[in-house]
C-alpha cells in the first residue's frame, strides 16, 4: 500500500466545524482534554488542565483547535509530523457543582486567576 499523501493526511485530520472553532479555553471550561495522535509515528499526547494552565499554553488559550492543530508538530525525535488527529475527551476534572453555563464560567475564571492568567487575556 502506498504511503498516504500529504492531502490524504490532511483530509484524515479534518475537524468537525464545531470542534474546529472551539477555543482551548472552552475545552478548559467544559472539562475536556485535547488528544493529539501523530499520523506518522502514532505517538499520542494529551493536553488537560495541567497543560492548559502551564507556562507554554496559558497565554494561548484563546486559540482555536483548528489553529492549534495547524501549528503543532510531533515532538517525537526524528518525526516532527504535522496534521495530528485531534480528539476531545472528558478530562475528569469537571466540577460536579458546575452544571450550568454560569457556574462553569465562574469555575474557569477561578482556575485562570489561580494560575495567574487574566481571563480577558484569553478572550473571556
Ligand atoms: Zn510523530
H-run or E-run covering 90: strand 85-90
The pLDDT, as a whole number, for residue 54 is 94
The alpha carbon of residue 6 and the mean position of all alpha carbons in its chain are separated, in whole angstroms, by 23
Yes or no: say if 90 and 47 are a contact pair by the CB < 8 Å rule.
no
Ligand 1 center to residue 40 CA distance, Å?
5
34 alpha carbon – ligand 1 mean position (Å): 16
pLDDT at 1 over 80: no
Q: What are 7-29's pLDDT values in tens digits?
A: 999 999 999 999 999 999 999 99
Q: How far is the CA of 43 from the centre of ligand 1 (A)?
A: 5
Q: Where are the domains of the chain?
A: 6-117
Q: Which pLDDT value is given to residue 97?
A: 62
List, for residues 32-78, the tens digit of each pLDDT value.
999 999 999 999 999 999 999 999 999 899 999 999 999 999 999 99
Cα-to-centroid distance, 88 and ligand 1 (Å): 19
Q: What is the pTM of this model?
A: 0.88
Rounded mean pLDDT of 82-101?
A: 81
Residue 95, pLDDT score: 59
- pLDDT interval class at 91 (50, 70, 90): confident
Q: How far is the CA of 36 from the centre of ligand 1 (A)?
A: 10
**Residue 101, beta-bridge partner list:** none
Q: How far apart are CA 27 and CA 50, in angstroms?
A: 12
Amino acid at each position: 500500500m502506498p504511503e498516504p499523501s500529504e492531502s490524504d493526511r490532511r483530509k484524515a485530520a479534518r475537524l468537525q466545524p464545531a470542534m474546529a472553532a472551539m477555543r482551548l479555553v472552552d475545552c478548559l471550561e467544559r472539562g475536556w482534554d485535547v488528544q493529539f495522535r501523530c499520523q506518522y509515528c502514532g505517538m499520542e499526547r494529551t493536553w488537560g488542565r495541567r497543560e492548559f494552565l502551564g507556562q507554554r499554553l496559558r497565554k494561548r488559550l484563546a486559540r482555536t483547535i483548528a489553529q492549534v492543530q495547524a501549528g503543532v508538530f510531533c515532538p517525537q525525535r526524528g518525526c516532527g509530523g504535522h496534521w495530528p488527529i485531534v480528539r476531545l475527551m472528558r478530562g475528569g476534572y469537571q466540577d460536579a457543582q458546575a452544571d450550568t453555563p454560569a457556574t462553569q464560567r465562574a469555575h474557569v475564571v477561578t482556575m485562570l486567576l489561580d494560575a495567574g492568567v487574566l481571563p480577558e487575556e484569553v478572550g473571556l
